[in-house]
Amino acid sequence: MKKITAKYPSNIALIKYWGKYGIQLPMNPSISLTLSEAYTETSIELFEKKSKEIEFNYFFEGKSNSKFSDRVINYIKNQEEFRPLLDNYSLKIESKNSFPHSAGIASSASAFATIAALLLKVSSTNDQSLDFKKKASHFARLGSGSACRSFQGPYMLWGKLDDVSESSNEYAIQVNEVHPNFQKMQDAILIVEDEPKKVSSSVGHSLMNNHPYASARFKDANKHCIEMLSTLKSGDFDSFISITEREALSLHSMMMTSEDYYMLMKPGTVSIIEKIFAFRNDTKLPICFTLDAGPNVHLLYPEIIKDKVEKFINEIKDQYKFVIFDKAGKGGEVFEK
Ligand code: DP6
C-alpha cells in the first residue's frame, strides 16, 4: 500500500468544552475557530504481517514516543472499525507538528484529527457514500474531544444545540453563516510559559462531575453558543468580544473553584489581559483574548487591523516569551505521499 499522509490544524475554542461523559461526549456545546499555521502532519504505512503480535511503530518528529504510542494503540483497539488493521497489518505511523513542542498549544486536537482521518481512509469502514468529514470528526472525538472540531472551518459547532437541528454530541459541524467581519480572524498566541501542563485536560474535565457550579456553567455555555451563532452571522464585534472573554474567564473560574482547585493563569497572563483591556479602551479596536487550559493568551482580531495589533504585540514584548501568529483556516486533507 502507498504511504498516505494527513494534515490537519489545531483549533481554539471560543465557547469552551469543559466537562464530559461517556467517551468524550460533551456536557455542553462548544464553538471553535479552526487555525491554519499550527497543524500536525501524520503519515501511515501498512505492511503485511504473519505473526499475531501487535506490530505498531509510532514516531513523533523522528523519535519513537511510547506514551503517545500507547494512547494511539488503545484508541485503535477500542474502535471495532479500526481493530482489524492491528490484527492484520504491521503499522508504521510518523507524525510531526508545525509548531514548537514547547509552545503549549494543545497538540492532541490536530494529532487525533490526522490519526482518525488516516485510519478511516485505510480501513474498510470508509464507505464513500457517507460524509467523510463527519465520520472523521466522529472518530477523532473518540480520541480527544476537541479534535472533532479540526475538519472544516473557520468556525465549528460541536454538541447538541436545540436551535440547530444538524448539531450533534457525536461530531462537529461547520457554522454556515459567518459575516465577513469574522472570516479572516487572526490568532496571535502569546506564549507566557512553555512548560507542559500541570493538570491534564482529562483531570480537568472530571472535576466538573461534582462541581458546585456545574449546572450553571453548562447552561451558560449553551446560551453563549446560541448568542455566538447569531453574533457570527450579524458581524457584531462587541458581542463577539464579550462572549469570548467571558467564556475564557469562566473556564478558568471552573478550575479555580473545583474541589481540587488549581490555577493555570500566571502573573504574565493577567498582566497581558490588563494590557489588552487598556489597549482596547484607548483605541476602540476590536481585539479580544481567549485562553485554553493553560497560561498562554490567544489574541483574536480581524485581518484588517493586523498592522496596528502587531505593533501593540511588539510594544508589550517583555510580557511573553515568544509569539506564534496564526489565523482562521478551513481544515485539512488526506493525500498520497
Ligand atoms: C480547555 O479535547 O483536550 O481546550 O477530550 O479529554 O482529550 P479530551 O480533552 P480536550 O479538552 C479541551 C479543553 C479546552 C476547551 C476546548 O477546546 O473546547
- Summarised one tens digit per residue, pLDDT across range 6-60 is 999 999 999 999 999 999 999 999 999 999 999 999 999 999 998 989 999 999 9
292: Cβ below 6 Å to ligand 1?
Answer: yes
Q: Are residues 272 and 216 in the same domain?
A: yes
Give the CATH number, domain containing residue 307: 3.30.70.890
- Of 178, 210, 225, the last residue of a domain is 178
Q: Is 25 domain-assigned? A: yes
Q: Are residues 282 and 303 in the same domain?
A: yes
User: What pLDDT, on the 0 to 100 scale, is given for residue 153?
Assistant: 97
Counting from 1 in the atom list of ligand 1, the atom nearest the Cα of 293 is: 1
Q: Is 38 domain-assigned? A: yes
- Identify the residue whose C-alpha is closest to ligand 1 atom 7: 144
For the chain, first and last CA: distance in Å?
11
User: What pLDDT, on the 0 to 100 scale, is given for residue 189?
Assistant: 95
- To test the ligand 1 pocket, which listed residue (201, 218, 224, 256) has its Cβ within 8 A of the most ligand atoms? 201
State the Cα–Cα distance between residues 246 and 22, nearest whole angstrom.
Answer: 27
The residue behind cell 449553551 is 222
The residue behind cell 485581518 is 303
- Identify the residue whose C-alpha is closest to ligand 1 atom 12: 146
State the Cα–Cα distance between residues 153 and 167, nearest whole angstrom.
Answer: 15
- Identify the residue whose C-alpha is closest to ligand 1 atom 4: 292
User: What pLDDT, on the 0 to 100 scale, is given for residue 57?
Assistant: 93
Q: Are residues 24 and 56 in the same domain?
A: yes
**In a 3-state reduction of DSSP, which class is residue 10?**
strand
Q: Are residues 237 and 276 in the same domain?
A: yes
Q: Are residues 121 and 255 in the same domain?
A: no
Q: Are residues 276 and 172 in the same domain?
A: no
Gap from CA of 21 to ligand 1 centroid (Å): 13
User: What pLDDT, on the 0 to 100 scale, is given for residue 107?
Assistant: 78
Q: Is 332 domain-assigned? A: no
Q: Are residues 30 and 171 in the same domain?
A: yes
Gap from CA of 18 to ligand 1 centroid (Å): 7
User: What pLDDT, on the 0 to 100 scale, is given for residue 128?
Assistant: 59
Counting from 1 in the atom list of ligand 1, the atom nearest the Cα of 147 is: 2
Predicted TM-score (pTM) of this structure:
0.96
Gap from CA of 323 to ligand 1 centroid (Å): 22
205: Cβ below 6 Å to ligand 1?
Answer: yes
Structural domains counted in the chain: 2
User: What pLDDT, on the 0 to 100 scale, is given for residue 194?
Assistant: 81
Q: Is 267 domain-assigned? A: yes
Q: Which residues of the chain have pLDDT under 50?
A: none
Q: Are residues 53 and 150 in the same domain?
A: yes
Structural domain of 92: 4-178
State the Cα–Cα distance between residues 206 and 208, nearest whole angstrom.
Answer: 5
- Of 119, 145, 178, the last residue of a domain is 178
In the chain, the DSSP E strands lie at 4-15, 20-21, 25-26, 30-48, 55-60, 63-64, 89-97, 155-158, 172-174, 185-191, 288-291, 297-302, 322-327, 333-336
User: What pLDDT, on the 0 to 100 scale, is given for residue 243?
Assistant: 98
User: What pLDDT, on the 0 to 100 scale, is given for residue 31?
Assistant: 98
200: Cβ below 6 Å to ligand 1?
Answer: no
Give the CATH number, domain containing residue 27: 3.30.230.10
201: Cβ below 6 Å to ligand 1?
Answer: yes
Q: Are residues 97 and 220 in the same domain?
A: no
